Amino acid sequence: MTGMADLPIWAALLVAFLVLLGAVLTLIGVLGLLRLRSFYERVHAPTLGTTFGAGSILAASMIFFSMLETRLVLHEILIAVFITITTPVTLMLLARAALYRDRAEGAEFVPLHQEADPGSAGGDHSGRK
Amino acid sequence: MNGDVLLILIVVLPFVGSVLAATFRPNARNSEAWLAGGVALACLILAAIAYPAIVEHGAIRSESEWLPTLGLNFTLRMDGFAWLFSVLVSGFGFLVVLYARYYMSPHDPVPRFFAFLLAFMGAMLGMVISGNLVLLVIFWELTSIFSFLLIGYWHHNAGARDGARMALTITGIGGLGLLVGVLLIGHIVGSYDLDRVLAAGDQIREHDLYVPALILILLGTLTKSAQFPFHFWLPNAMAAPTPVSAYLHSATMVKAGVFLMARLWPVLSGTPEWFWIVGFAGMASLLVGAFFAIFQHDLKGLLAYSTISHLGLITMLLSLGSPLGAVAAIFHMINHATFKASLFMAAGIIDHETGTRDMRRLGGLFRYMPITATLAMVASAAMAGVPLLNGFLSKEMFFAEAIETHAKSVLDTSAPYVAVLASAFAVTYSLRFIHTVFFGPKPTGLERQPHEPPFWMRFPIQFLVLACLVVGTIPALTVGPFLHTAVISVLGPNTPFYSLAVWHGFTLPLLMSAVALVAGVVLYLLLNGYLNRSEAGPPFIRRLQAQRIFERVLVVLSWKWARSIEARLGTRRLQPQLRLLVVAAFIAALLPISLDDLSLTSLRISEIDAVFVLIWVSGICCAVSAAYQAKYHRLAALILLGGAGLSTCITFAWFSAPDLALTQLLVEIVTTVLLLLGLRWLPKRIEEEGPKTVSLGTRFRRVRDFGIAVAAGGGVGVLAFVAMTSPVPLETVASYYLEKAYVEGGGKNVVNVILVDFRGFDTLGEVSVLAVVALTVFALLRRFRPAADSIAVPDQQRMQNDFDEAEPDRKVGDTIADYLLVPAVIMQWAFPVIIVLATYLFLRGHDLPGGGFVAGIAMAAAFILQYMAAGTRWVEERLRILPVSWIGLGLLLAALTGMGAWLFGYPFLTTYSQYVELPTVGATPLATALLFDLGVLGIVVGATVLMLIALAHQSTRGLRSARVATEAEQEEA
């Protein structure tokens, strides 16, 4: 990290700000994962980290390395694209599995078979009685 | 022709022929016979070419370095005696091949037969012309193995399997003894070279280790030659096809034992120990074999016991320690091979024509096959020692030797009587063989009308019987010079005067022969009636079969004792095994280090990076919790394990090892996924019922195991700490690699260059292990039946399927397809992306982090994703993944790349790198290491995917069994 001193002050500030922002957002997401009560609530919290959290850190990385190597560094866009595409897959699979498990165990707060589709995860998943 | 080339050709040709023969079509009898016969004939001609040089110089040698540091050279040495045996082995090989062409049925898979036969011939030839004792033992063992395969050729037949196994067990034990004996000889003499050993006779005989060495070597030779008390494997080996018996049990396999005894005769013989052991074994075999032979009903059984007896005769001759005895022994080796091979072939023809070898059922065959009968009669007359045939000559020499007093003892005094008695028995069984088979009433109840065999099937017998006759009448003109060459090479300056004439005047041996002949005939007349009615086996001791004793010993040793040892010392439980392993490793590490050597330098706190510590604290937490949760919550444990792996990965990145970090990350991902897939098949944890009471024993066990774990883990930690904090020398391996990686390896990524170039051989070994592991996993899982409680379909799938069945407009699988639609599409689209990534990682490997291994794992991950997204069926309908081919091609490519270096005169796995001007890309560094790396990639992909497929197929099979179970339930209801 020898070239760090060569960074102009405005860029350094910007990078620092973005990195911190991303880290804080991710931290909030993690706290949410820890604090929220039901699975269906918790599943949302980490997305803070995978969207804006990751986004700002990637942006910071783009600026940092572009300044350092005096050329446009855009690898991070690829990372962002893949995170955006793959995260929902995790969400869908997890939510579906949780839903079935709760139903099988007869948990109270799970929507029952009122619709045609047995696994309407998109419905009122947070509906607790 | 150069002697070097000639000897190597004689050994190599049969093995090459064997490999070729194995590739033919299953019913290619003719081409197989042409090939095998050609090879045998070529060896015979090569031996013939060598003869003048041997007569002139005594021996020809060929020496090439093999393991020079261990004093082992690939030395071949052919002297007169070895030449004689080479001729016997290749000549008889040719005749047997000719015979086998007609003997083997069109339904037998002949490539296997001829391939084994040729390989056996090669091993035998190698054995007789080895000039190095260790090499000799290696060929010796090869003959054991190939004879096992040949005896067990008809492996659908239980008798063949048992006989083959018994032969291998006995000769294998003997071979082991021989090896140790040879090592002792090598220790005494200081060399394994045959010439030096033969020159060191006095040194060996006077050494303290002479007796152990002698006993061990004799263990090898006596088992091989089926001498008492190891004789019983030979009759059981008669389950082999008759050409095999004719070859192995006349001229080759069983002759190996007496060959070696004659070979080492000048060195080992002449002591009381030699005389007693060899003499007793020989005499007992001579008598017991001849006696048992009388009472066999199986033609081949008779011949087998007669072989034991004749080998006993040879052994006894060798035991005497007199040069004349050795001459007679060598002469009888030739004679016995000649008449016994022809008799075996005749027995095979009879079996072939009548469908039985039981002498009680046979009879009167003379009128159907007069020529074969005549030939068999001449041959058995030779076996009985009738004058004017070759058997008579060596038997007379034997009698002459038996009368002489060599070492005054019971054994020596009884020798002439035993000799006459055994000869009388030989006359009896020879007569029985002829009389019951060819004369008397016509056989009844035969499956077909017997007739003469084809001319070429009979030809080998004719040839051999002619040899019996010619040698028997004019020995000095025919076999004389060759025998003399052989004898000189064994006895050297001690060669005595001997005469090969038929007529020596009225001597005591002639009288003994006459007595034996008459007594044998009388005995047969007396026994004839009894034999036709009795059961097989000699009277009174019929039940006492060495074979049964052997079986019982085998059961006791390999089953009862082994089981009780296993029950006492072994365990099938994983925990004790792991405990032992860890404790052993701990002690092994502790022993060499006294704790004083470990200078523990204390770390200064200021040097510690807080963030790094945090990573490690979380890593350690993950690892410990994983261990803790492993029993209670496997999924959680697996996730935590991933966390620990991730912190390792970050550590690698932290210390600028991007290559390792990358590899670690991908390995972590793939193993986690594979383990997750496997988790489903583990049995459920046994829930303890009732209040939890921990017994004292359990508590002790836990504390002890905890102590072991802490001690071992802490020990490794301390070692690592010391290793990392001790000062680094200026010149390390690392600096060497850093310096040379680009200059010599042509790559900037030092790690990769080390893997594929500097230590490419290690890598080749490692990936081979990986391939083996993958195949093992596949083999294990292929027959794996999951625990009963994990067979059922998971709840979620069951609910989905129930729902689909309940709705009229849906079919089973719709729901899962619906909700997996988006994930599946994304995962499928990820496929090409990951392939591109893998290619990228692969291509940059030589200069930047990446390489074949990482790329392989990435590519495997792409396949895994497809399986997960759409299920086994869907993927396999669309993608033809051939993991075994990937592995095979990968190994082949890696090995071929390595061998490519040979073409340019460099050692194995030397790489070459060069900048190549590619269109549009420009100058590109290319190294042959890239090809090697491609091989690595193939193996990694193949291995990972193979394991995945094993797991995935488990799932489809499990479903099927669950479905069968539910259907059965429904039917019952």
Is B575 exposed, middle or buried, given 0-12, 13-18 or 19+ CB atoms closer than 10 A? exposed
Q: Which domain holds residue A93?
A: 7-105
Element (H, E) at B134: helix B133-151
What per-residue confidence (pLDDT) applies to A40? 85
What per-residue confidence (pLDDT) applies to B972? 66
- Alpha-carbon distance of B260 to B263, in angstroms, equals 5
Of residues B799, B803, B819, nearest to A104 (C-beta): B799
The first and second tokens of residue B553, run together, are: 């010993």
The first and second tokens of residue B231, run together, are: 């004789």
Q: What's the average pLDDT block by block, 10 residues per block, for chain B (973 residues)? A: 80 92 84 90 91 85 80 85 92 92 85 91 92 91 93 88 89 93 91 88 87 92 89 86 89 90 89 89 91 87 91 90 87 90 91 83 83 90 86 86 75 84 90 86 74 87 90 84 87 81 78 88 84 68 68 81 82 84 89 66 69 91 88 87 92 87 90 85 72 80 90 87 75 77 76 80 90 90 75 76 80 78 87 92 82 89 86 81 89 86 76 71 72 90 88 72 67 65
Q: How confident is the model at residue A5 (pLDDT cuts 50, 70, 90)?
A: confident
Residue B360 and residue B532 in contact, taking contact as beta carbons nearer than 8 Å: yes
Is residue A114, in this structure, part of any structural domain at all?
A: no
For B343, half-sphere exposure in the C-beta direction (CA atoms, 13 angstrom radius) is: 33
- Those residues whose C-beta lies under 8 Å from the C-beta of residue B909, and which sit 6 or more positions away, are B757, B760, B761, B764, B897, B898, B901, B932
Cis peptide leading into B481, omega within 30 of 0?
no
Is residue A86, in this structure, part of any structural domain at all?
A: yes
Query: Of B305, B290, B163, B278, which Cα lies nearest the Cα of B221?
Result: B278
Is B895 exposed, middle or buried, given 0-12, 13-18 or 19+ CB atoms closer than 10 A? middle
B825 → chain A, closest CA residue:
A89
Is residue B915, in this structure, part of any structural domain at all?
A: yes
Residue B356 and residue B472 in contact, taking contact as beta carbons nearer than 8 Å: no
Question: Does residue B761 share a domain with residue B712?
Answer: no
Residue B754 and residue B854 in contact, taking contact as beta carbons nearer than 8 Å: no
Domain boundary (B535, B562, B582) is at: B535
Is residue B98, in this structure, part of any structural domain at all?
A: no
Of residues B800, B815, B823, nearest to A89 (C-beta): B823
Q: How far is A21 from chain B (nearest CA, A)?
A: 19
Count of domains observed in chain B: 3
The first and second tokens of residue B858, run together, are: 């990435």
CA B129 to chain centroid, in Å, comes to: 22
Is residue A123, in this structure, part of any structural domain at all?
A: no
B796 → chain A, closest CA residue:
A100
Residue B385 and residue B309 in contact, taking contact as beta carbons nearer than 8 Å: no
Q: Which domain holds residue B408?
A: 270-535
Look at the block and give the residue holding tokens 């004898």: B487
Is residue B930, in this structure, part of any structural domain at all?
A: yes
Residue B403 and residue B508 in contact, taking contact as beta carbons nearer than 8 Å: yes
Is residue B225, in this structure, part of any structural domain at all?
A: no
What per-residue confidence (pLDDT) applies to B962? 63
Query: Of B70, B65, B10, which Cα lies nearest the Cα of B39?
Result: B10
Question: Does residue B799 share a domain with residue B713?
Answer: no
Q: How far is A8 from chain B (nearest CA, A)?
A: 26
Helix, coil or strand: residue B792: coil
Residues in A whose CB is inside 8 Å of some CB of B read 85-86, 88-89, 92-93, 96-97, 100-101, 103-104, 116-119, 121
Q: How far is B821 from chain A (nearest CA, A)?
A: 10
Look at the block and give the residue holding tokens 């986004």: A55
Sign of the Cα pseudo-torsion (B275, B280, B282, B283, in order): positive
Report the DSSP pairing between strands B913-918 and B922-927.
antiparallel
Contacts of A100 in chain B (CB under 8 A): 795-796, 799-800
- Alpha-carbon distance of B817 to B802, in angstroms, equals 15
Helix, coil or strand: residue B777: helix
What per-residue confidence (pLDDT) applies to B833? 92
Query: Of B912, B554, B943, B597, which Cα lies nearest the Cα of B774?
Result: B943
Q: What b-and-e string marks burial along B416-429, b requiring 16 or more CB atoms within 10 Å of the CB?
A: bebbbbbbbbbbbb
Interface test with A, best of B796, B803, B831 (most A CBs within 10 A): B796
Contacts of A88 in chain B (CB under 8 A): 822, 826
Question: Does residue B633 share a domain with residue B583?
Answer: yes
Contacts of B819 in chain A (CB under 8 A): 92, 96, 119, 121
Is residue A72, in this structure, part of any structural domain at all?
A: yes
Contacts of B815 in chain A (CB under 8 A): 117-119
In terms of phi and psi (left: phi > 0; alpha: psi -120 to 50; beta: otherwise), the region of B71 is left
Contacts of A96 in chain B (CB under 8 A): 819
Contacts of A121 in chain B (CB under 8 A): 819
Q: Would you give the DSSP letter of residue B358?
A: B
Query: Of B521, B329, B490, which Cα lies nearest the Cα of B427?
Result: B521
B795 → chain A, closest CA residue:
A104
What per-residue confidence (pLDDT) applies to B139? 93
Contacts of A89 in chain B (CB under 8 A): 822-823, 826-827
Contacts of B803 in chain A (CB under 8 A): 118
Contacts of B799 in chain A (CB under 8 A): 100, 103-104, 118
Contacts of A97 in chain B (CB under 8 A): 796
Residue type, B441: P
Compute the C-alpha angle B380/B386/B388, nearest 5°: 110
Of residues A85, A100, A116, nearest to B796 (C-beta): A100
Is residue A128, in this structure, part of any structural domain at all?
A: no
Q: How far is A14 from chain B (nearest CA, A)?
A: 23
Contact A100 B795 (CB under 8 A): yes
Question: Does residue B488 share a domain with residue B594?
Answer: no
Residue type, B362: L
Interface test with A, best of B635, B655, B799 (most A CBs within 10 A): B799
A 10 A CB-CB count for B490 gives 24
Contacts of B807 in chain A (CB under 8 A): 116
Contacts of B800 in chain A (CB under 8 A): 100, 118-119
Contact B815 A117 (CB under 8 A): yes
- Those residues whose C-beta lies under 8 Å from the C-beta of residue B429, and which sit 6 or more positions away, are B290, B293, B294, B296, B302, B305, B306
Count of domains observed in chain A: 1
Strand pairing partners for B62? B76
Distances (CA, A) of B593 to B590, B709, B891: 5, 19, 40
Cβ-Cβ pairs closer than 8 A, A with B, add up to 36
Distances (CA, A) of B205 to B190, B268, B411: 14, 7, 22
Sign of the Cα pseudo-torsion (A46, A51, A53, A58, in order): positive
Q: What b-and-e string marks burial along B254-283, b requiring 16 or more CB atoms within 10 Å of the CB?
A: bbbbbbbbbbbbbbbbbbebbbebbbbbbb
Residue B475 and residue B327 in contact, taking contact as beta carbons nearer than 8 Å: no
- Interface predicted TM-score (ipTM): 0.80
Question: Does residue B627 share a domain with residue B517?
Answer: no
Question: Does residue B945 share a domain with residue B829?
Answer: yes
A 10 A CB-CB count for B731 gives 8
- Alpha-carbon distance of B261 to B319, in angstroms, equals 9
Q: How far is B826 from chain A (nearest CA, A)?
A: 7
Question: Does residue B671 share a domain with residue B763?
Answer: no
Is residue A124, in this structure, part of any structural domain at all?
A: no
Is residue A112, in this structure, part of any structural domain at all?
A: no
Question: Does residue B784 share a domain with residue B713?
Answer: no
Strand pairing partners for B130? B76
Interface test with A, best of B819, B825, B828, B831 (most A CBs within 10 A): B819
Residue type, B959: L
What per-residue confidence (pLDDT) applies to B560? 84
Helix %, strand %, coil % of chain B (to 5): 75, 5, 20
Contact B815 A96 (CB under 8 A): no
- Those residues whose C-beta lies under 8 Å from the C-beta of residue B99, and which sit 6 or more positions away, are B243, B246, B345, B348, B457, B460
Of residues A88, A101, A118, nearest to B800 (C-beta): A118
Contacts of A117 in chain B (CB under 8 A): 815, 818
Query: Of B165, B164, B135, which Cα lies nearest the Cα of B150?
Result: B164
- Alpha-carbon distance of B910 to B248, in angstroms, equals 46
Q: Which own/partner pairs from B956-961 qualify as long-range (CB within 8 Å, at least 24 positions apart)? A: B956/B872, B956/B873, B958/B681, B958/B786, B958/B791, B959/B793, B961/B791
- Alpha-carbon distance of B277 to B800, in angstroms, equals 80
Question: Does residue B861 share a domain with residue B902?
Answer: yes
Is residue A110, in this structure, part of any structural domain at all?
A: no
Distances (CA, A) of A106 to A109, A112, B97, B484: 9, 9, 79, 99
Contact A117 B796 (CB under 8 A): no
- Alpha-carbon distance of B840 to B861, in angstroms, equals 15
Interface test with B, best of A100, A101, A113, A120 (most B CBs within 10 A): A100
Query: Of B345, B352, B355, which Cα lies nearest the Cα of B376?
Result: B345
Of residues A89, A100, A117, nearest to B826 (C-beta): A89
pLDDT of A119 > 80? The answer is no
Distances (CA, A) of B947 to B123, B725, B791, B857, B882: 39, 40, 20, 13, 12
Residue B326 and residue B317 in contact, taking contact as beta carbons nearer than 8 Å: yes
